[in-house]
Every structure is written in structure tokens, then in C-alpha cells.
Chain A
Amino acid sequence: MTRYAAGVLEFADAHGWKIIAVLAVVGALPPLFGLEGGFYMTVATLTLMFGVLALSWDLIGGQTGYPSFGQMGFFGLGAYTTAILVKDQAVAFPVAFLVAGVLATLAAGVVGLIVLRLRGGYFAIATLGILLVAQQVSRNLEVTGGSSGKILLDVPPATTFYYVLLGLLVAEVAVVYYLTGTRFGYVLNAIRDDEGKATSMGVNTTYYKTAAWMLAALFTGLAGGSWSLFNTFVDPNTAYNLSWNVEMIAMALLGGTGTVAGPVLGAFGLHLTIVFIQSVSLDVTLPLLGPTTINFAGWQLVLLGLVVIVTVVSYPQGFVGELRERASAMEYYRHAGGAAGQETSHDETASPDGGERT
């Protein structure tokens, strides 16, 4: 395992753009080969959506160090925007979709003025509170259909949303991957590591963190905007889904916060696991009870909580972070105790545009 970690990372660092392009093409194939609807289509589409959500969360939570517990607020805003526009105002989906993104970004700008002044626990709980307030507001308003929500029947086919979400994910991966190599990305990481120092170096941290926060909200809002029509139903409990709120954090954490591949891998892995657990039922013969059917549906949140706890306690760096750690340990070993990268006795490890960006 350890031996391959370094190789995998080296390859990923050197061929980042090519990997993104190849995966985008591979991702576009399934609908062309007959997958046009049904259970597997839903699973695939939602998996892509969770990739978007986890990466959005990581942009503000992992890269910038502002752990938002309220990202689903922007998701719900986007979901309601397209639902209301398409159903009640007869706006075409593409227009409504863009409006959802714009509204979510603007909302993030306004909310950010207040909450981005807070740090750590204060920030986390303030964002959680805003999410709950948004949920309550949507429950009380007329235009959102109150607590019974909205049923959307006249919607584009499922493959549309598959491609929309695939496009969103690819775009977001590309944007985040590009940003991690720019000054913008470095400033975000500097804010995470020590905001006070970054400020004293003359960086306008408010500008950078607000931009990251709005960018994360843009992608979250767009994801929500496509989800509501895909789901053909939207109500306060599903649009501002509190368990998805946790899921996206767990996904980013599991894959590795502050990385590009980590949150996406975490999203794919965890969502598929959850789907598997929800759908599986075991027929077993227990010693005392006799033949029993064990059904795991309803237990996925218990699993989710346990995943969060175990990951935080044992692997706080997540999968990619762990991989990186092992790779650099291997490097250390190869250089007979010298710091990794000090001597270049083997092939050039650094990627052409420099640095660890996986």
C-alpha cells in the first residue's frame, strides 16, 4: 500500500488536467450506452451531486478553514428557486437554473457580511442557525408551498440532470484544481492556517474568504437548482435536508479536507455505501431468533455518525491526506532520514506547475 502511495500521488500531481479530462469523458458515457432512467440513473446522478456538495463544502471548510454547518441553506435556496420559477412562472429550466446560482451567490454575499466575522465554533453554529431559520421561513411562506412543499411534474428527462450535475462537478473540480495553484488558493490556505498572520502580511482576508464563500454557495445553489426538478418534489425537510448537511461534511472529511480529489472520492465512496446499506437486506439464521431478515434501512445515519467520529478520532487527515503522509514517510525512508525533497536522487517528483495539488 505504502509503496504505491507515492507513485499514485506523483502521477496525479503530474497529470492533473489530463486525469480530469479523461474522467469527464468516462463520466459522459453511461447514458450513451443505455442507462436512461431508473434506480441506477438516480444513484449515479445523486453521487455526482454529492461530489459537488462535498467539494463546495471543502472549499470553505477545508481550504479556507471556516467549517460551515449551513451549506444546505444555499442548496435549499437554489432548489426552491428553480421549483418556483419553472412551475409557477413557466420559466425555462436553463434560465431558472442560472437564476438559482445567482441568488445563492448573492445570499451568500449578504450572509457572509455577518457570519464571516465570526470564527470557529461561533461561525459553525451561526451558519447552522441560518440554515434552520431558512428552513422555518420556507415552511411559513405561501410562495414555497408551506410545509407540504411543491410537486413538479413537467420536468426535463433524467439524463439532462445527469449531464448538468456531471458538468457542474467537472467545472468545480477544474476551478478548485486551478485555484489551488494560484495566489488565491494559497491565500485561502493561509487564512485557514493563521488568519491573523495573513492579515498582518497585508492580505485583505475579508475579500478572499468572502469570495471563497460565495463561490462555494454558487456551486451548492446550482446543485440544489438542478436537484429539485430531478427529484420532482421539494419541501422544507428535503430541500434543507439536515442529514445531507452532515453527509457533505463527512464526505469531505473522509476523503481528506483541503484537497481536490479527497472530497470527491469521499462523496462517491460514502454515498454508494449509504445506498448499498439502504437497499440491502440479509436473510440470516440467528442462534436464538431463527431465520430473520436484517434490514439496514434507517440505520444509514447511525453509520454516518460513526464514520464521522472514527474518521475524526483516528484519521483526521482523511484518505488523501493519509496517502500523502505515507508517501512522504516513504520518501523519508528512501532518503535515509533526510527530509523529503531535499535530495533528488530519483526522478523529478514535482509537478510541472509545482506543488502538491491532488
Chain B
Amino acid sequence: MAVAQFVVNGLLVGALFASIAVGFALIWGVVEIINLAHGEMVMLGGYVSYWTVRSVAGEGAVSPVVALASVPVALVVLFVVGYGLQRFVVSRVTGTDLFLTLLVTFGLSIVIQQLALQAWSADPRTVAVQFTPQSFDVGGVFVPKTKLLAFVGAIVLTVLLWAFLRYTRRGRAIRSVAQNPDAAALLGIDVEHTRALTFGLSSAIAGGTGAFIGMILFVQPQMGLIYTLKSFVIVVFGGIGSVPGALLGGLLLGSVEELTAGLVSSQWTLAVSFGLLIVLLVVRPKGLFGRGVEGEP
């Protein structure tokens, strides 16, 4: 029974990893940048949600409605942040050496993280959501309602992004830039704007997920790096540009981490998930689904 509980916990939190990774993969595929500041977008989203809830409802546990209402705020703020970052900073190195783009996003992650540390201190913060009773009991397996809420929220965000990319005109523009920026420009698509839009969307979904993470775990200025790395693991697993692959990867990573934490020790989760990454990179560098980046192994 314990194993079933671990798997359920893993699936619940894995959906959040997946929706973060989808944003990470989107930038990678369209702007051709490995955004090392992606985890910081999660962190910022968490803080936006936290401060929104704090200023509306004060300290203490809040109703699910208030908590959910803070998610759109995080989405909008992080969209603006992401759009601005691409437009004014990252666009200066897009299309140059991959190493330079890595460094710029790494620099951004440090600056954002350290400014957050100066502004909000290193204390972890949580948006406590009030549910009575706290969890469902499904045949001996406990499903905390807050985690279920976050799970559903993350899935909704992922599906919305997927539908946007697939069915809207803007979404098609984004996909065309991913395929061939020059041809897209010839057809009258504003490539710079589209890339910034992509960065904005990706940051928004990361920020929205960050808001949910603030409800089920905590937000802290230095939390970002771990989420960036998890996104990388998931994208390598699922393949770049594959939303179902990322979703499956996220759920799997969540389960593996929870099983490691439950059966071995929570101190070894990172080592196990990274061990898996190394194995994957060597055995199946293009991911189990979808394509790799051209020129990369």
C-alpha cells in the first residue's frame, strides 16, 4: 500500500514538473536557447502569488478561491517579465554561440535569485490553503486536496498552452518560427516579437506553476536551479517539442523521486534523478519521443 501512496504523491507533484518543463522545452525549441533562468520564473511566480494572497487576505490559511485567484496574477506578471527579458536581454545573443546564451541566462538566474534574496530574505514561504477535511481517502491512499488542486491546475495550464500552440494563429506563428525563422520572416511574421511572446508564454506557465508550488511546497529565492535541472531531465526524456512526452516525463520523474524518498531516503532523490539523466543522455540522447535539436547528439 505504501508504494501506491508514493506513486500517487509522485504523480500529483509530477504534473507540476511537467508544466514547468513544457515551458522550458518551448523556449528551447522556438528560441533555441536553454534557459537556465527558467527555474527563477517558477520562483518569481510563487512569490507573486504569495504576496498577492498576503495583501488580499493577510497571513494564515486562505480559501481555495483566493489561492486560485492569485494564479492569473502570477501568469500575467511573469508573461510581462519573460517578454521583457527576451526582448531586451536575451535577444542580443539569440542565434550566436550556444555557450553565450547559456551564460546570459545563467547570469540572469543569479541576478534574479540574489535580488529576490535581498528583497524577501531566505525564509521559505507557503500559501496555506484551507480545506476541510484535508484529504480524500481512496481505498487507503490519501489524496491531499491541495495537491489535487495543484495537479489539476498544472494539467489545465499545460493543455491550454498546447491548445494555444495548435489551434490559434499566434500559436502557428510560434511553431513556424521554430521550424524556420527566415521563412517565417519572409511570410511577414515578426520573428523578434514572436520569440519574445514565446519567452513570455513559457515564463507565464512557469510562474503559474510556481504559484501552485507555493501552495503545496514552499517558495524560496534559491529554489529555481532544481526546477531548471528537473525540466532539463524531463525534456531530455520526452524530447524537445513534445508536450505528451514532457507530461509523461514529468509524471515519471515525480514518481521516481517520491519512490526514492519513500523507499530509500529523501536525501538521495537528486542523485537518483540525475543518475537517470546521465543514463538517458548516453543511451537515448534524442529523447524517447520527438526529435533532438539538430547538430546536438
Contacts and interface: CB of A to CB of B under 8 A. Distances in A.
Contacts of B98: 120-121
Contacts of B167: none
A133 B270 contact: yes
A136 B99 CA distance: 26
B276 to A, nearest CB: 10
Interface string B102-125: 111011111101110110000000
A46 B279 CA distance: 37
Interface in A293-338: 298-299, 301-302, 304-309, 312-313, 316
B109 to A, nearest CB: 8
Given A126-B277, A308-B106, A133 B271 contact: yes
A246 interface: yes
Among B115, B118, B236, B270, which residue has the most Cβ atoms of chain A within 10 A? Answer: B270
Contact of A129 (B110, B118, B267, B277): B277
A318 to B, nearest CB: 12
Contacts, number: 115
A139 B277 CA distance: 21
Interface stretch (A52-60, A101-109, A111-119, A216-224): A111-119
Given A136-B271, A302-B114, A308 B278 contact: no
A308 to B, nearest CB: 3
Nearest to A257: B99
Contacts of A119: 296-297
B229 A306 contact: no
B136 interface: no
Among A67, A120, A253, which residue has the most Cβ atoms of chain B within 10 A? Answer: A120
Secondary structure dominating the interface of A:
helix
Contact of A126 (B89, B225, B281): B281
B138 interface: no
B172 interface: no
Given A119-B297, A122-B296, A302 B118 contact: yes
A312 B114 contact: no
Contacts of A302: 110-111, 114-115, 118
Contacts of B115: 302
Nearest to B103: A312
A125 B232 contact: yes
Interface string B28-45: 000000100000000000
Contact of B118 (A130, A246, A299): A299
Nearest to A61: B99
Contact of A67 (B102, B117, B275, B297): B102
B102 A121 contact: yes
A139 B281 contact: no
A49 B233 CA distance: 33
A39 B283 CA distance: 50
Among B268, B274, B275, B277, which residue has the most Cβ atoms of chain A within 10 A? Answer: B274
Contacts of B152: none
B281 A249 contact: no
A119 B97 CA distance: 12
A313 B104 contact: yes
A313 B92 contact: yes
A44 interface: no
A139 B89 CA distance: 37
B89 A133 contact: no
Interface residues of A, number: 42
A61 B103 CA distance: 12
A309 B274 contact: no
Among A133, A246, A306, which residue has the most Cβ atoms of chain B within 10 A? Answer: A133
B107 A128 contact: no
Contacts of A206: none
Contacts of B268: 136, 140
A67 B285 CA distance: 19
Interface in A87-105: none
Nearest to A310: B107
B11 to A, nearest CB: 24
A312 B275 contact: no
Interface string A113-153: 01101111110111011101100110110000000000000
A246 B97 CA distance: 18
Nearest to A243: B110
A115 B285 CA distance: 12
B1 interface: no
A132 B93 contact: no
Contact of A253 (B103, B109, B113): B103
A129 B107 contact: no
Contacts of A246: 106, 110
Among B34, B98, B103, which residue has the most Cβ atoms of chain A within 10 A? Answer: B103
B100 interface: yes
A45 to B, nearest CB: 25
A40 to B, nearest CB: 27
Contacts of A242: 225
A117 B107 CA distance: 26
A306 B103 CA distance: 11
Contacts of B92: 313
B24 to A, nearest CB: 11
B296 A132 contact: no
Nearest to A139: B267
A313 B93 contact: yes
Given A130-B278, A249-B106, A308-B110, 14 more contacts: A121-B296, A122-B297, A126-B277, A133-B270, A301-B110, A301-B114, A302-B111, A304-B110, A305-B107, A306-B111, A308-B106, A308-B107, A312-B103, A316-B100
9 contacts: A117-B297, A120-B99, A126-B281, A133-B274, A136-B267, A246-B106, A302-B110, A305-B107, A305-B114
Interface of B: 34, 89, 92-93, 96-100, 102-104, 106-111, 113-115, 117-118, 225, 229, 232, 236, 265, 267-268, 270-271, 274-275, 277-278, 281-282, 285, 296-297
The 7 lowest CB-CB distance pairs between A and B, nearest first, are A308-B107, A305-B110, A305-B111, A309-B107, A121-B34, A129-B274, A301-B114
